[in-house]
Amino acid sequence: MNTVQPRMTNLFEQLGLDSSESAIAAFIKNHQLDADTYISDADFWDEGQRAFIHEKLAADDNWATIVDQLNESLHEDSVNQK
């Protein structure tokens, strides 16, 4: 049984991305999504990353919470424009 509590850094590592605090902040800043784009449909993911995100959201477990946090962060600009 995996007892590791997922965190944003773990998510970025699983996605094969730089998981440093500054890299995560830069990724979020540079990859803002419009309000109509679902996180797993974003064009910056490769197929493996997209599948991982979709799988974790569908599982509705601790990973889903972290993916949802990333989703909210990637939509900050579109929410703030309303």
Tell me: the pLDDT tens digits for 3-57? Answer: 667 899 999 999 999 999 999 999 999 999 999 999 999 999 999 999 999 999 9
Q: Which domain holds residue 47?
A: 34-82
Q: Does 4 reside within a domain?
A: no
Give Cα 37 distance to the centre of its chain.
13
Give the model's pLDDT for residue 2.
57
| Residue (of 35, 48, 45) closest to 74 by Cα position | 35
**pTM of this prediction?**
0.88
Q: Is 6 a member of any domain?
A: no
64 in any annotated domain: yes
pLDDT greater at residue 81 or residue 53? 53
**Is residue 20 one of the residues assigned to a domain?**
no
On whether residue 19 sits in a domain, the answer given is no
Residue 59 counted as domain residue? yes
Domain count, the chain: 1
